[in-house]
A and B are shown apart, each in its own frame.
Chain A
Amino acid sequence: MEQFKKKNLIYQILPLVSVSALILSWIAFSLATGGIIFPGPASVVRRILKTFETPIAGMTIIGHTLISLKRVLTGLFISCVSGISIGILVGSNRYLKATLGSFLEIFRPIPPIAWIPIMIMWFGIGELPKILLIVLGSFFPVMLNTASGISLVNKINLDVGQIFGGSKISILKEIVLPTALPSIFSGIRTSVSCGWTVVLAAEMMGAQQGLGLLVMKGWGINDMALVLGAVIIIAFIGAMFSYLLKRAERLLMPWNR
């Protein structure tokens, strides 16, 4: 029993130890390199707070964060709605799979980031190309996962639907979609992280506001504290998305475990 308690204690302490080690090495590293190439945590915090006194491109850090969030959420909304609908169509109808599905397949291998230059050439650096890019980047995971989730349905469950007199649409709604829900969620998770990456890339390559812009700006004038600060906020929001999605999953699918 004593050994058990001791082991448990070690397991609880270890994460704290390693995270503290990480932060300490960050501080040490920044001190060792003179604090310019790699500012320590204190300077990063200070730099971020400074945007409240001297806004960049007219906005504080909160403003830029909100802009990036607004863009990504708009794009994600569009791609989830369209991705799920088209995924259902392509997954349940073989004709649509052969036509619409094949058409979309042509575009799938092109990484969303590769679309950025042509989008800028066609649409400039306004909001529209950014939203389009986010949609391009986040559409496929959710569509493909929806389509494959639909095909996962057990024959016996479809038989049950038939036997109890369900119309095709009723069976889709009551049986097929709930079965596909875990796959759809997995697709949404991937889409969200793709979308967040794309908005970042798009902002880094042509924007006037946003977290990506802050990164580029900081990089350009060698303000590494700004760069690190923006990156940390980006990572934090990414982690938030993951966490929220996990909670949503547990809420919407109470039968999973």
Chain B
Amino acid sequence: MEIKGNDLEKLRLDHKKIENRNIFKFRILTVMTIIIFFGLWQFVADQGIVDSRTLPSPAKIYETFLAKLTKKAPDGNLLSANILASLQVSLFGFFSAVIIGVPLGLLMGWYKILDKTLTPIFEIIRPIPPIAWIPIVVVWMGVGLSAKVLIIFFSAFVPCVINSYTGIQLTNKTFINVSQTFGASNFTTFIKVGIPSSLPMVMTGIKIALGNSWSTLVAAEMLAASAGLGFMIQMGRQFARADVVVLGMVLIGVLGAILSFLFSSLEKYLLRWK
């Protein structure tokens, strides 16, 4: 019994219907969960179950957001100034870490001499949480831009180096052999075989570095700054303005997510051959 044309069509349509229904079902659940969460939050805050000074409602936070766009209180900066300061410092530290860390990691992973010399030093620096650098760097360099950038640099530097190092060490030996059989020098093999094959791990390392930069930035701003979202949160606490604090948290989360998303898109584009 063969499956005839009409029956085939019907089977295919049934199959498609079930698939679409499944995707739809889960998307709805996700959206509903998020709506319920915000709704409950608003409800709890409105009903005064918790004091509104402790837990501001989503609506209140939105209000504060609008207010901060034009007012400097209570931390002394406009919201835009804070956001700009945070982005500036973190991205500057992040990019320098990538530019220095990735090539360094790649070279360390490829050339044994560099490996044996630099890896021990790296292993000593690695376990120091970036936040612990803050007092040392600040005492040494003051509370300026360069101190913060350096701290963020440390936090982003480590994953860049580690991942590049591991990535290039995992280069397929067969490819290296092929390259050498064709007479390529060690350096050429490094450039043409090692580096491209380590790209996925390098990208992962950079992604981690981005996350680290952003969260270390917050810490650095909380402890030693006069502008920025972390600073804004700290000021919010000092003036007992929970709404400012939560606004800062939300903005930090949102900006972090946006940066992460932008990078993931870049990653997908660069690795589209995968």
Contacts and interface: CB of A to CB of B under 8 A. Distances in A.
Contact of A200 (B131, B218, B242): B131
A58 interface: no
A239 B54 contact: no
A111 B215 contact: yes
A219 B132 contact: no
The interface centre, meaning the residue of A99, A109, A121, A224 with most chain B CB atoms within 10 A of its CB, is: A109
B54 to A, nearest CB: 6
Contacts of A201: 131, 219
B140 interface: yes
Which label, helix, strand, loop or mixed, suits the secondary structure of the A interface? helix
Interface string B67-89: 00000000000000000000000
Nearest to A243: B127
A231 B253 contact: no
B203 interface: no
Interface in B37-91: 37, 54
A200 B132 contact: yes
A112 B116 contact: no
B118 A110 contact: no
Give the contact-size bracket for chain A.
Answer: 35 or more
Given A98-B30, A103-B37, A109-B260, A14 B113 contact: yes
Interface stretch (B189-197, B233-241, B266-274): B233-241
B21 to A, nearest CB: 13
Contact of B233 (A10, A18, A117): A117
A116 interface: yes
The interface centre, meaning the residue of B29, B117, B135, B246 with most chain A CB atoms within 10 A of its CB, is: B135
B249 A110 contact: yes
Contact of B127 (A14, A204, A205, A235): A235
B117 A117 contact: no
A219 B135 contact: yes
A38 B140 contact: yes
A201 B120 CA distance: 26
A120 B237 contact: yes
Contacts of A112: 215
B3 interface: no
B252 interface: yes
Nearest to B217: A111
Contacts of A19: 120-121, 124
B237 A111 contact: no
B127 A228 contact: no
Nearest to A231: B132
A234 interface: yes
Interface string B106-150: 000000110011111101101111111111101110000000000
Nearest 6 interchain pairs by C-beta? A111-B215, A238-B127, A98-B29, A14-B116, A109-B253, A117-B237
Interface of B: 26-27, 29-30, 33-34, 37, 54, 112-113, 116-121, 123-124, 126-136, 138-140, 214-215, 218-219, 222-223, 230, 233-234, 236-237, 240, 242, 245-246, 248-250, 252-254, 256-257, 260
Interface of A: 10-11, 14-15, 17-19, 22, 37-38, 94-95, 97-100, 102-103, 106-107, 109-118, 120-122, 193, 196-197, 200-201, 204-205, 215-216, 218-219, 222, 224, 227-228, 230-231, 234-239, 242
10 contacts: A109-B253, A110-B249, A110-B256, A111-B215, A111-B252, A114-B233, A200-B132, A201-B219, A219-B138, A231-B128
